[in-house]
A and B are shown apart, each in its own frame.
Chain A
Amino acid sequence: MLLSQYIFLFLSFVAIISALMLVLDKNPVHSVLYLIITFFAIAGHYLLLNAQFLAVVHIIVYAGAIMVLFLYVIMMLNLNKDIEPHKKNIPKVAAAVAAGLLLLSLTALVNGAEVNMLPAARNSNIGLMDNLGKTLFKEYMLPFEISSILFLSAMVGAVFLSKKEIH
């Protein structure tokens, strides 16, 4: 096996274990910390895929900004105690079985599928910023601009939901 394959296995292991702990841990602050580990592992995957810029942005935005926001909300709402109400086990088992079946069928389907090298993957500089910028502003110009409508509507919605009503 190549070194990159070992790194891939290690990163995947870390990502899956910490994602599991994120869901299973009852303390919200611990969950958030596990989420950070998951994000770092995924950033490592991006590096393996030659997506350096994406890896850096992922760490800055998710592991940095979003995480601080999460922690801030948890601290502010004083959720750091173990106040999760005890839920029944049947829905948990049903959810686990359903998700497990989905995983099983997807892996069974992907397993044995002939996977071709995509043209984009042959270029090792694909993830560098100047390539990304060129693609974004040439081929993907319209989606790039249109996504501003998406963000604008999300912002308007956030303001609308948090605005005080005057009667």
Chain B
Amino acid sequence: MKELLLLSGLGVLALVAEIINARKLIYPFVIFGLLLNIGLCYHDLGSNESIYGMLRLDNAALAFTILFSVIALVWFIMAKNYFSDETNISDHFSLVLFSLVGVFLLSSYTHLSMLFLGVEILSIPVYILAGSDKRNVYSNEAAFKYFLLGAFASGFLLLGIVMVYGGVGSFYITQIAASALLPYGLSEKLVAIGLVLILFAFAFKMSAVPFHFWAPDVYTGAPTSITAYMSTIVKIGAIAGFYRLYVGVVAVYAQYDFFSSYLLIFLIIALLTIVVGNVIAASQSNVKRLLAYSSIGHAGFIILGIAMISPTVNFTTWYYLLAYCLANILTFWVLIIVSKQDNAEDISVFNGLVKRNPILAGTMTVGLLSMAGIPPLGGFFAKYFILLDVIGRGYMMIAIIAILASLIGVYYYFRIIIAMFAKNPIQTATIEIGSFTKLLMILVSCLLLAIGIAPEYVYNLIF
């Protein structure tokens, strides 16, 4: 309950600060609030608190809450320039904070109405934030496209929830799971249709292939800070929500007839997402678009891990998200600084970056190497744990295809790294960054390295 009140209170506080003319105070308050939220969640680990029977703060929920709070904290520090616009500052803050409430609901719901509310509270502020660069036509296009397709996906989600309710007669995920074991008054067909429709809605939100067509345009059109937000926090929300549904409900129906076809659909989606995301990313020259496609590929890896439903699925999912989001935020951070300097987003802006600012080049390299899955960075172990689960379940072919696809990933990540280190800069002016930014960049890079060196320590800390 405290976490929910804290997050929504911060959003309302940002609005009130506009009225009482205290805009300068919002930023420190938000940073402090997020730190407090991490502390509260860490303190609550193991409490298993139930909020009106609608939310349950079990360890998985708290772990996801800690994860998105940490990432949001880094994001707020990264996107400081986004909040320098005096006229809209409190709107930006409150919209971002409200969407964090949505992520919180998605990572802790036990009732399908909270699932729907979580998806909507997460999405609606992000539709608006995607269009927050009001004078830019591409930003308008991004917002409109995202809104229309997102509304469509929400329709599928609702239809799916209704079908599940019609089949079971309850919205509580514990009761839906219980009726799988004691199938009195259960309509198997309706449950199957409902779960598949919900899968499609989540595949849209996670930008999984073949529901990904909105993602590149929206990611490219939105302001770069918001793109970083969408490819990290929004993805955490969608994946946490789906994880809860899959582990809590779908996996319980494993002995039913429809489950094998459901798993087949799911594996096809996961595999297509990995392959298509990485293959198309290799042909991109705009770095923002490249990162958009690479984030599609990473989503595929995560849902492949969820599909395996191993005993440690909560940790592998969580760890992959942590490694991916930290690396992604780092690359976007450098991209924002570099593209602001040169007013372009092509790979060529990274040419010779090491001569212009070695810290930026180093940070970018750490982020890209982690996403490519090079040991000993976090991204390597994230992929390694998931592939281990896949091989453990006997899906050898899937593991091989996933490894091949991530090798394509190595190719396009190295294109940027080679541009930074081996090519001559187009512009020779050095890029100046503040010492605080420098320090934080090095800190986050070290964090990425640390979680790669000691994953078992992270495991013991949270799980």
Q: Which residues of A contact B (CB under 8 A)?
A: 106, 109-110, 112-116, 118-120, 139-143, 146-147, 149-150, 152-154, 156-157, 159-161, 163, 165-166
Contact = CB atoms under 8 A, between A and B. Distances in A.
B257 to A, nearest CB: 13
A63 B453 CA distance: 61
Size band of the interface chain B makes with A: 35 or more
B173 to A, nearest CB: 14
B286 interface: no
Interface centre among A115, A139, A143, A154 (most CB of B within 10 A): A143
A161 B12 CA distance: 18
Contacts of B193: 106, 109-110, 113
B52 A141 contact: yes
Interface in B38-72: 51-55
Contacts of A140: 113
A106 B196 CA distance: 11
B345 interface: no
Across chains A and B, which 3 residue pairs bring their CB atoms closest together, nearest first? A113-B189, A157-B128, A153-B98
Contact of A157 (B53, B95, B135): B95
Nearest to A143: B113
Contacts of A157: 91, 95, 124-125, 127-128
B91 A150 contact: no
A106 B156 CA distance: 12
A88 to B, nearest CB: 19
A143 B114 contact: yes
A110 B189 contact: yes
A156 B189 contact: no
Interface in B400-454: none
Contacts of B127: 157
B263 to A, nearest CB: 18
Contact of A146 (B11, B53, B117, B128): B117
Interface in B3-47: 8, 11-12, 15
A115 B165 CA distance: 11
Contacts of B12: 152
A146 B52 CA distance: 12
A160 B120 CA distance: 18
A143 to B, nearest CB: 5
A166 B55 CA distance: 42
A142 B51 contact: yes
Given A118-B166, A141-B52, A142-B114, A149 B98 contact: yes
Interface string B65-107: 0000000000000000000001110010011001101000100
Nearest to A146: B117
Contacts of A154: 124
B121 interface: yes
B282 to A, nearest CB: 28
Contacts of A106: 193
Chain A binding site: helix, strand, loop or mixed by DSSP? helix
A75 B138 CA distance: 28
B197 to A, nearest CB: 9
B187 A116 contact: yes
B134 interface: yes
Interface in B150-191: 165-167, 169, 185-190
Contacts of B186: 116
A149 B121 contact: yes
A115 B113 contact: no
Contacts of B131: 161
Contacts of B105: 146
A152 B11 CA distance: 10
Nearest to A116: B185
Given A118-B169, A140-B113, A142-B51, A149 B101 contact: yes
B310 interface: no
Contact of B169 (A116, A153, A160, A165): A116
Contacts of B125: 153, 156-157
21 contacts: A110-B190, A113-B167, A113-B193, A115-B166, A116-B185, A118-B165, A118-B169, A120-B169, A142-B54, A143-B54, A143-B117, A146-B105, A146-B114, A149-B8, A149-B98, A149-B101, A153-B95, A156-B125, A157-B91, A157-B127, A166-B86
B169 A146 contact: no
Contacts of B101: 146, 149
B230 to A, nearest CB: 15
A149 B11 contact: yes
Nearest to A118: B169
B458 to A, nearest CB: 31
Contact of B121 (A109, A142, A150): A150
B152 to A, nearest CB: 11
B185 to A, nearest CB: 5
B113 to A, nearest CB: 5
B111 interface: yes
Nearest to B159: A106
B132 interface: yes
Contacts of A161: 128, 131, 134
Contact of B117 (A112, A147, A156, A159): A147
A160 B88 CA distance: 7
Contact of B189 (A109, A139, A142, A153): A109
Contacts of B188: 113
A114 B101 CA distance: 38
A115 B87 CA distance: 55
A96 B316 CA distance: 42
Contacts of A156: 15, 91, 94-95, 98, 125
B85 to A, nearest CB: 8
Contacts of A139: 53
Contacts of B8: 149
Nearest to B196: A109
